[in-house]
Chains A and B, each alone.
Chain A
Amino acid sequence: MSEPLTIVEGIAAPLPLKNVDTDIIWPGLPGLSLRRGDQARNAFARLRFDPEGAERPDFILNQLPWREAKILVAGSNFGCGSSREMAVWGLVEWGMRCVIAPSFGDIFFNNACLNGLLPVILPENAVEAILATITDPERSVLKVDLVAMRVTGSGFNLPFMLDEHRRRCLLHGLNETGATLQQIETVRSFGKSYADRFPWTRIEGEKIA
């Protein structure tokens, strides 16, 4: 379960990079915990901190007002690469609730919606315009409304789209496991007919390991 999300309003930080992969978002450094709740410090760790662990003052997310950001605006293919859900947990635990980009890595996009991080896809030129706007600290506040499906900021008001299923997951902080377990009898009867059709897909536990 994640925290329900309807409107995210706050500082938006510009990260005008393409192909920000999940190794950048959540580097697999030695000695890290893989558990939820421990991930805030590792979000963008290599960009935020130097090898000694001190903050890098030149990184935008270490600077005011953007260090308070709840929204991140980035280039295309954000979250490509590894499936590590820690990348999403890290962003959320660090305080992000929304990422706006022209496109996202498929697995990251899905992970985000299951963890209360709203991924908003906008056309490349719109993202560029937003990036330019929020680089001005005076105009860095955005409002992303998942009910009205609009992004508003200084001088713009743009619609976005998200499929109904993922929208509901985010609005209600839904857990898909719980929802599916309510249907478990349907699943089991499907399983019976599936096994009749494809008996060769069965496998005996003892044989496996």
Chain B
Amino acid sequence: MTRPRTLYAKIWETHLIDERSDGSCLLWIDRHVLNEGTSIQAFDSLREAGLTIERREMHLAVADHAVPTDERGGPLPAGTRSDRILQLERNCTEFGIPHIPYLSTRQGICHVIAPEQGFVLPGMVAVCGDSHTATLGAMGALGFGIGTSEIEQVLATGTLIQQPSKTMAVEINGILGDGINAKDVILHLIGVIGAAGGTGYAIEYRGSAIEAMSIEARMTLSNMSVEAGARVGMIAPDEQLIQWLHGRALTPRGAEWDEAVAYWRTLPTDPGATFDRIVQIKAADIAPQVTWGTSPEHVVAVGAAVPDPESFADPTRAAAAARALAYQGLQPGTPIQAIAIDRVFIGSCTNARLSDLRAAANVVRGRHLASHVEGFVVPGSTRIRRDAEEEGLDRVFIEAGFEWRHSGCSMCGGAETAPPGTRIAATSNRNFEHRQGRDVRTHLVSPAMAAAAGIAGHFVDIRQFGKGRA
């Protein structure tokens, strides 16, 4: 009888090429996604060392971080951002790496298009020079972000030297309340375990609430594992995922598909397998979440108030909270729903898939942004933008006063910013100081909560929003 193993251990073991006496492991990498933000120096290093690409077809490059989202079609405007996009293209041509051009209908945020194209499949190890590669864990894959030195190693060898992580099971059982989104689930979890709670761990999300989640929602969840400190956040492949993958552009066909599916069904964690840590959360306990500070762990339920830094027992947490409130321009004790916003940003690899846009559109349909609020909708990929337009979601947003943008990282990654002091209800993943522009104040929320805040002009509880109206 074989020892019961976790999903993580199964994938790790099939990819293990060599284990050295110092405890480091050489891992086979199946897929590597590149963007224009972190790969430039890796290509420079290859060039300097006279190295070539070991396995070209395992890579896929796309520009997302720097692409302008206000207009698309004409030539790129001159400047550093365009230089990065063009440099990625030149590097890919020179080294023979598959590349999705900036104007392609397949362009999009790297972590959105990799699943959308069927580039990353269950049981694979997939990497990208971006921390939110954890998103790919929703494909039943082991996905993690890497640095530029590691990009160089993957390009030159198709492998990486890694060390195994500890494993953490996050079990969420029960039924999520109405209006509660995967974003609320992950923010709630970060509130419970802290922004460093997952450090050193690979998280596996399990339980009936996870099984009931759509694949897109699972990506929101695994995406923000990073904000919980974990490099990896996985969900076991199931029949829903297999159906979701079927027929996507880069998935296997015919007999190979059947063989793959048979293998994927063996991947879920075996009964009796053990984790280094288990965190249990009741789905019914999760309310809509809003962050108040500058770390994702600075989060409360929408019905609560901004906490008093002095209420934290730990002095370093209290100091961090005081600093965060000063940055955010908030007073302790202010009810979350009394915080007025200037802008709504619906976008990013966390929450800009079709279901996210639908959720936001359902809130704004037939309504209009508050007079002092600007709104931006930035689809996660060019295909999502097109699909949304086919459903008429673009018109819903435009009529409600939103700008309907082209796909890219936009106001998530800092390439497109808001004026100093702007307060944003954002569906992205980081509320760090200056992340969305100098002195910009970010509050992380779900797409429906962001949309409702835009209409009301301040945060509102989505569960009560619009009640009593036709």
Q: Which A residues lie at the B interface, using CB under 8 A?
A: 16-19, 21, 23-24, 27-28, 30-32, 34-36, 46, 51, 75-77, 80-86, 88, 103-107, 110-111, 114-115, 124, 128, 163-165, 168, 176-177, 179-181, 183-184, 186-187, 190-191, 194, 197-205, 207-209
Please state if A28 and B147 are interface contacts (CB–CB under 8 Å).
Answer: no
Given contacts A177-B152, A180-B161, A208-B250, contact A82 B57 (CB under 8 A): no
Q: Which of B56, B129, B250 contacts A83 (CB 8 A)?
A: B129
Beyond A30-B81, A83-B131, A106-B200, 13 extra complex contacts between A and B, CB < 8 Å: A27-B434, A34-B37, A81-B226, A82-B130, A83-B129, A85-B41, A105-B229, A107-B146, A163-B24, A165-B22, A177-B49, A184-B54, A198-B123
7 residue pairs, one from A and one from B, having the closest CB atoms = A165-B24, A164-B22, A208-B98, A209-B98, A111-B147, A77-B196, A200-B260
Please state if A176 and B40 are interface contacts (CB–CB under 8 Å).
Answer: no
CB distance from A209 to the nearest CB of B (A): 4
Q: Which residues of A contact B157 (CB under 8 A)?
A: 177, 180-181, 184, 187
Interface residues contributed by chain B, number (CB under 8 Å): 91
Please state if B56 and A35 are interface contacts (CB–CB under 8 Å).
Answer: no
Please state if A83 and B57 are interface contacts (CB–CB under 8 Å).
Answer: no
Please state if A205 and B98 are interface contacts (CB–CB under 8 Å).
Answer: yes
Q: Which of A83, A88, A105, A190 contacts B130 (CB 8 A)?
A: A83
Given contacts A18-B316, A83-B130, contact A23 B23 (CB under 8 A): no
CB distance from B58 to the nearest CB of A (A): 7
Please state if A176 and B161 are interface contacts (CB–CB under 8 Å).
Answer: yes
Whether B163 is near chain A, meaning CB under 8 Å from some CB there, is: yes
Chain B 313-345 interface residues, beta-carbon cutoff 8 Å to A: 316-317, 319-320, 323
Given contacts A23-B433, A177-B152, A199-B256, contact A35 B414 (CB under 8 A): no
Q: Which residue of A lies closest to B118 (CB)?
A: A203
Chain B 34-91 interface residues, beta-carbon cutoff 8 Å to A: 37-38, 40-41, 44-45, 49, 51, 54-58, 60-61, 79-81, 84
CB distance from A58 to the nearest CB of B (A): 14
Query: How distant is the Cα of A110 from the Cα of B61 in the complex, in angstroms?
Result: 23
Please state if A106 and B231 are interface contacts (CB–CB under 8 Å).
Answer: yes
Q: Which of B26, B40, B229 contacts A187 (CB 8 A)?
A: B26
Q: Which of A80, A187, A205, A208 contacts B159 (CB 8 A)?
A: A187
Query: How distant is the Cα of A110 from the Cα of B124 in the complex, in angstroms?
Result: 22
8 A-B Cβ contacts within 8 A? A19-B297, A34-B41, A35-B40, A83-B145, A177-B51, A199-B259, A202-B57, A203-B119
Whether B173 is near chain A, meaning CB under 8 Å from some CB there, is: no
Whether B465 is near chain A, meaning CB under 8 Å from some CB there, is: no
Q: Which of A81, A168, A209 contacts B22 (CB 8 A)?
A: A168
Please state if A18 and B320 are interface contacts (CB–CB under 8 Å).
Answer: yes
Please state if A107 and B98 are interface contacts (CB–CB under 8 Å).
Answer: no
Q: Which of A16, A165, A208 contacts B163 (CB 8 A)?
A: A165
Q: Which of B30, B56, B323, B430 contacts A201 (CB 8 A)?
A: B30
CB distance from B367 to the nearest CB of A (A): 34
Q: Which residues of B contact A81 (CB under 8 A)?
A: 131, 226, 430, 432
Q: Which of A84, A183, A204 contacts B38 (CB 8 A)?
A: A84
Q: Which residue of A lies closest to B131 (CB)?
A: A83
Given contacts A21-B432, A85-B38, A200-B257, contact A107 B80 (CB under 8 A): no
Query: How distant is the Cα of A113 from the Cα of B397 in the complex, in angstroms?
Result: 47
Please state if B153 and A19 are interface contacts (CB–CB under 8 Å).
Answer: no
Given contacts A81-B131, A164-B23, A186-B18, contact A16 B319 (CB under 8 A): yes
CB distance from B161 to the nearest CB of A (A): 5
Query: How distant is the Cα of A23 from the Cα of B260 in the complex, in angstroms?
Result: 40
Query: How distant is the Cα of A193 from the Cα of B432 in the complex, in angstroms?
Result: 45
Please state if B148 and A85 are interface contacts (CB–CB under 8 Å).
Answer: yes
Q: Which of A32, A82, A198 contacts B80 (CB 8 A)?
A: A32
Q: Which residues of A contact B183 (CB under 8 A)?
A: none
CB distance from B166 to the nearest CB of A (A): 11
Q: Which residues of B contact A209 (CB under 8 A)?
A: 60-61, 98-101, 104, 106
Q: Which residues of A contact B263 (CB under 8 A)?
A: 198, 200
Query: How distant is the Cα of A88 from the Cα of B149 in the complex, in angstroms?
Result: 11
Please state if A16 and B316 are interface contacts (CB–CB under 8 Å).
Answer: yes
Given contacts A30-B80, A81-B432, contact A114 B195 (CB under 8 A): no
Given contacts A16-B316, A190-B28, A201-B30, contact A110 B147 (CB under 8 A): yes
Please state if B24 and A19 are interface contacts (CB–CB under 8 Å).
Answer: no
Please state if A24 and B149 are interface contacts (CB–CB under 8 Å).
Answer: no
Q: Which residue of B lies closest to A164 (CB)?
A: B22
Q: Which residues of B contact A46 (CB under 8 A)?
A: 433-434, 438
CB distance from A205 to the nearest CB of B (A): 4
Whether B179 is near chain A, meaning CB under 8 Å from some CB there, is: no
Q: Which residue of B lies closest to A179 (CB)?
A: B161
CB distance from B110 to the nearest CB of A (A): 12
Q: Which residues of A contact B163 (CB under 8 A)?
A: 163, 165
CB distance from B202 to the nearest CB of A (A): 10
Whether B422 is near chain A, meaning CB under 8 Å from some CB there, is: no
Whether B17 is near chain A, meaning CB under 8 Å from some CB there, is: yes
Q: Which residue of B lies closest to A131 (CB)?
A: B316
Query: How distant is the Cα of A14 from the Cα of B116 in the complex, in angstroms?
Result: 45
Q: Which of A34, A51, A115, A168 contacts B84 (CB 8 A)?
A: A34
Q: Which residues of A contact B150 (CB under 8 A)?
A: 110, 114, 176
Whether B467 is near chain A, meaning CB under 8 Å from some CB there, is: no
Query: How distant is the Cα of A159 from the Cα of B244 in the complex, in angstroms?
Result: 51
CB distance from A125 to the nearest CB of B (A): 11
Binary A-proximity of B96-130 (CB < 8 A = 1, otherwise 0): 00111100101000000000000101011000011
Q: Which of A27, A76, A201 contacts B196 (CB 8 A)?
A: A76
Query: How distant is the Cα of A186 from the Cα of B25 in the complex, in angstroms?
Result: 13
Please state if A208 and B147 are interface contacts (CB–CB under 8 Å).
Answer: no
Please state if A35 and B44 are interface contacts (CB–CB under 8 Å).
Answer: yes
Q: Which residues of B contact A208 (CB under 8 A)?
A: 57, 60, 98, 119, 250
Please state if B23 and A165 are interface contacts (CB–CB under 8 Å).
Answer: yes
Query: How distant is the Cα of A75 from the Cα of B98 in the complex, in angstroms?
Result: 42
Q: Which residues of A contact B433 (CB under 8 A)?
A: 23-24, 46
Binary A-proximity of B188-202 (CB < 8 A = 1, otherwise 0): 000000011001100
